[in-house]
Structure 1
Amino acid sequence: MVIIMWILGLSIVAVLVIYVFHWIIILTDPKFRNRSSLPPGSMGFPFIGETFQFMIPSYSLDIHPFITKRIQRFGPIFRTSLFYQPIVISTDREFNNYLIQQEGKLVELWAGPVSNMFQQFGESEIFFGNIHKHIRSITLNHIGPERIREKLIPLFEEMILNTFHQWSTQTSIDVKQSITKMNFQFFAKFFFGYDIENLPRNTERISEELFTNFTEGLKTIPLNIPGTNYHKCLEEWKKAIKIVKNILEARRNSPEKYRGDILDQAINDLEKNKVMNDDQIVFVILGIWFASSASISSIIQLIFKFLSDHPCVIEELRGEHEDILRSRDKSSSSLTWKEYKSMKFTQQVLNETLRFSTLLPGLLRIALKDIHFDEYVIPANWIILISTPSLHMNSEIYKDPLTFNPGRWKELDSLTVTKNFKPFGGGLAQCPGAELTRAFIATFLHVLVTKYRWTKIKGGKVIRNPILGFKDEFHIKIWENRE
């Protein structure tokens, strides 16, 4: 009992010391000397700030209550502290569009928890400056519109057809698990030649849990302690880094193994201009792999939910895609770029799903210098979260915003969409994989509605914490359409 009291007493003293030093640091920091100029808000508890409140689950498609409560209290722009970082959250449309236009001048991309995680391996600089521009160039060369037009759509279709055939032989599939596995395997092979299905036995493998653990790691306090999701995530990444390094070395030592993929281009560029070193190449490959696979997986999961809940949308989709089949000279031909670009209603369904879906709770930027807006000053080096859910759920732009309604996109003009729809970011930092995502999902839907039927078995309730996902397992039964 005495030992327990001693431990309790020491813990209280430690918390008090931390609290005092925390406020000493704050009060002596020049950023806080003129606190009246900062946006209103609360910095929460020492170090952890308001992170726990930010992560409280909400079981709604609506904006997370953390945001709505602070808008009501402080207005559309407010300050807080999340994951050890002072941060300004903006739901102000005018300010958000201004920030996006000032990319590279007042703000630049900040990778948030991803950057913090990569700092564990000393590689956070790949998100900034010339390296980031080089990564964007490499990515567009391999997954930009030209490459999609020339090669990728038939490749997507072939893989998706094989996947659906496998799914149709099962009693039911777990939507999240099955779609994550599909993208995990396909994009690993596509980006760096990692053919998971055909690896020799007893070969060390990158686990499919990498994506799950990584996503969960982004939603937790970054404490590298055994047993935490963050620690599991780091351990999975260490294994993945080792495996991709081995693949890189094998390619370099055996040029005949070159495949013409992103890894090959990164190796060639390293030999020519030394923009990146080996470690940075590995992180780039893993980052592109994760970003493409995880974003597409989360969107397709939501599409299954929304279509299951709205059979009339399925019928309109099926009509559009059957029209494509009827207009072909040969019924056995593959989907083409022209056909993909003709899918108006499919793009409306995708836009409406993207309006709800976010892999991150917004666009993260870091202030390069003090930013003056109205009566506020956001200090240099502060993080700014442009809240895209707040933008996408704005009832002034989207009538009945919590209702899944693809038809709304027929009425929205291009200027309104440009200013108020940011699923892939905006400005110079817009995601280079935007067209890849659209083409892949359009191809997925083409196969789904023309060749298969499905029904929901269980689950499908959403949770936002603050990233939108599923509260429980979501199972569906898929079978081949033989009509």
Structure 2
Amino acid sequence: METFFLSYIKEISLDVSSIFLLVGTLVAIYMTRWIFRWRNPKCNGTLPPGSMGLPLIGETIQLVIPNASLDLLPFIKKRIKRYGPIFRTNIAGRPVIVSADPEFNHFLLRHDEKLVESWSMDTFAEVFDQVNHPRKYARNLALHHFGVESLKSKLLSQMEDMVRETLSIWSTHESVEVKSQSVMMAVSFATRQIFSGDLDRTQVNFAELFRDLLGGLMSFPVNIPGTSHHKCLQIQKKVKILIRELVRKRVAEPDSDTQHHGDLLDHIIEDSKSTESFLNEDFIVQLMFGLLFVSSESVSTTLALAFKLISEHPLVLEELTAEHDNILKNRENSNSTLAWNEYKSMTFTFQVINEVLRLGNIAPGIFRRALKDIPINGYTIPSGWVIVIASSALHLNADQFEDPLQFNPWRWKEIQPSMVAKCYMPFGSGMKQCAGAEYSRVLLAIFLHVLVTKYRWVKVKGGKIVRSPIVRFPEGFHYKISERNN
């Protein structure tokens, strides 16, 4: 009997071992096949060259490795050198085509909504809820309140008053951190146009909130406590609760002339009384949140970088100052505020702004998604794949911009409009160019006008630049602002 049981147990052990071996073999076959499919995605043709990186995370880690300069990210530079201006990769588990080809990019943007559609990174889509929102309505609303006509009629003088007040306050401090203080200035001004200053009365530092928000937007989209992405979502939640309270308060106000504010929120509430079903409270809150963010981040980063670059290039400061001094000298009334024709006459100022924007590359790129298979140079971009137009690679292309890392505003004297259309897109391109592009340029120009005619600045500390992939200033840009001795 004992021999029988031992034989039986041995037979069972052999069967279990066989089962484990079979399961292990099947798992190995499945994993091998899955990894092969990961590295070789389906395509009705030949994919552009490149690598899909590690399973699940792709090449995300390589992308976010910081670069301690304004130069192109090593991630992009190395792949362009190895694969050419159009290559494939995988970011956070999503297949992506990166394009630094000016002709192909121009072709794509001319066929917007036919070959490609607008797309946002998962973190942006989650934070800003952009999917399925009526972009056309939001764009028209922004153009109405922040576009050229509004700039001419009221915003120009309001901006100048705000800049003068801001710089006057800065000059009383031992030093100011330009980036964070510029965020505060830009957010404060935007809230007056959107909410008539309602947010100014809250006990929340919106500059700090929006600064931290940006860091989370460019993080790996893992919503776990302690991660940048989780912090980003918590900030979004906090800000939107405050905005929602303000929206509800405004909606509850009596409909009378004495309660009419004439700001953007009034405009959208009036529109919500129409038959447009999408103009609900959630949409209004989200739109306000997005406008506050975009109105502050690009301007503040550009201003901080302008402080650094202009102060490091005395000849630029000399010509910039001469241009603005000349504007003041040619006025009939020396006490008058800046006029629209004076703004439009700032030729060298525009060249300086263009050059700062070119080097800064504030946005990580222009994002589109293929609506159908797109053939390009013998390759095929599959339908549904994300396409990233790498604006930084265009702006720092030595074939288009001689000595591209050199801050040289004079280069813009010779640059042709046709080249600008294909190789320079700090605010996007074509019909979908950022609705706030002119607003940002005006604010930057006015700030420089007041700064160089009334003040001088000296760096106190900081100044380190990191690109990963957006420009950041980890130590801040601390400057002493003092009144100019004429």
Q: Normalising to structure 1: TM-score of the pair?
A: 0.90
CA distance in 2, matches of 1:357, 1:478: 23
Aligned with 2:479: secondary structure? strand
Letter in 2 for 1:268: E
> Structure 1 residues 28 and 465, CA, compared in 2 at 3 Å: closer, same or farther?
closer
| Other-structure match for 2:50 | 41
Question: In structure 2, how many angstroms separate the alpha carbons of the residues matched to 1:323 and 1:478?
Answer: 22
Aligned to 1:37, the other structure's residue is in SS state coil
Partner residue in 2 for 1:178: 181
1:81 aligns with 2:90: yes
What is the aligned partner in structure 2 of residue 94 from structure 1? 103
Match of 2:15 in 1: none
Whether the 8 Å contact between 1:269 and 1:275 is mirrored in structure 2 is no
Per-residue deviation, 1:225: 1.2
Q: What secondary structure does 1:221 align onto?
A: coil
Distance 1:224 1:23 in 2: 30
2:462 counterpart of 1:459: yes
The correspondence of residues 206-285 of structure 1 with structure 2, limited to 5 A, is 207-254=206-253, 255=255, 256-272=258-274, 273-285=276-288
Contact 2:187 2:295 in 1 (8 A): no
**Alpha-carbon displacement from aligned partner over 1:417-454 (angstroms, at most 9, x marks no partner):** 22221111111211111100110000000110011111
What is the count of residue pairs matched by the alignment?
A: 457
CA distance in 1, matches of 2:364, 2:153: 34
User: Could you tell me which residue of structure 2 aligns to residue 124 of structure 1?
Assistant: 130
| 1:476 Cα offset (Å) | 0.6
Amino acid aligned to 2:58: G
Per-residue CA deviation, residues 333-358 of structure 1 (Å, 9 max, x unaligned), is 11111110000000000000111122
User: Which among 147, 159, 162 is matched to residue 162 of structure 2?
Assistant: 159
Q: Summarize the Cα distance change of 1:114–1:137 in structure 2 as closer, same or farther, 3 Å threshold.
A: farther
Corresponding position of 2:408:
405
Q: In 2, distance between residues paired with 1:358 and 1:218?
A: 16
Q: For 1:292 and 1:197, how far apart are their aligned partners in 2? A: 16
Contact 2:38-2:52 at 8 Å conserved across structures:
no
Specify every segment of 5 or more residues in structure 1 that has no aligned partner in the other structure, as ranges: 1-16
Q: Distance in 1 between matches of 2:229 and 2:437?
A: 28
Q: Secondary structure at the match of 2:334?
A: coil
Contact (CA 8 Å) 2:184, 2:206: kept in 1 or not?
no
Alignment CA distance shift 1:19-1:471 (3 Å): farther
Tell me what 1:334 maps to.
Answer: 337
Deviates more, 1:179-188 or 1:330-339: 179-188
Instruction: Pick the aligned partner of 2:370 from 367, 380, 402.
Output: 367
Letter in 2 for 1:226: P
Give the superposition deviation at 1:482.
Answer: 4.1
**1:124-153 residue CA offsets vs partner (Å, 9 max, x unmatched):** 3255xxx01111111111111111111111
Whole-angstrom distance in 1 between the partners of 2:426 and 2:32: 36
Larger radius of gyration: 2
Do the aligned partners of 1:206 and 1:240 also contact (CA within 8 Å) in 2? no
Q: Which residue of 1 aligns with 2:81?
A: 72
Distance of aligned partners of 1:126 and 1:477 in 2 relative to their CA distance in 1, 3 Å threshold: farther
Distance 1:441 1:112 in 2: 28
8 Å contact kept, 2:240–2:285: yes
TM-score of the superposition, structure 2-length normalised?
A: 0.89
The 10-residue stretch of structure 1 (369-378 or 190-199) with the greater mean CA deviation from structure 2: 190-199
Give the equivalent residue in structure 2 for 1:419.
422
SS at match of 2:273: helix
> Given that residues 207 and 236 in structure 1 are in contact (C-alpha distance below 8 angstroms), is that contact kept between their aligned partners in structure 2?
no
1:313 aligns with 2:324: no
Q: Is the 8 A contact 2:69 2:466 kept in 1?
A: yes
SS of the aligned residue for 2:372 comes to coil
Distance 1:232 1:328, change over 3 A: same
Once the two structures are TM-superposed, the CA of residue 36 in structure 1 deviates from its matched residue by 5.7
Unmatched segments (≥5 aa) in structure 2: 1-26
Find the aligned partners of 2:481 and 2:335 in 1 and give their Cα distance. Answer: 22
The secondary structure found in structure 2 opposite 1:450 is: helix
- What's the offset of the Cα at 1:322? 0.7
Deviation at 1:323, TM superposition (A): 0.7
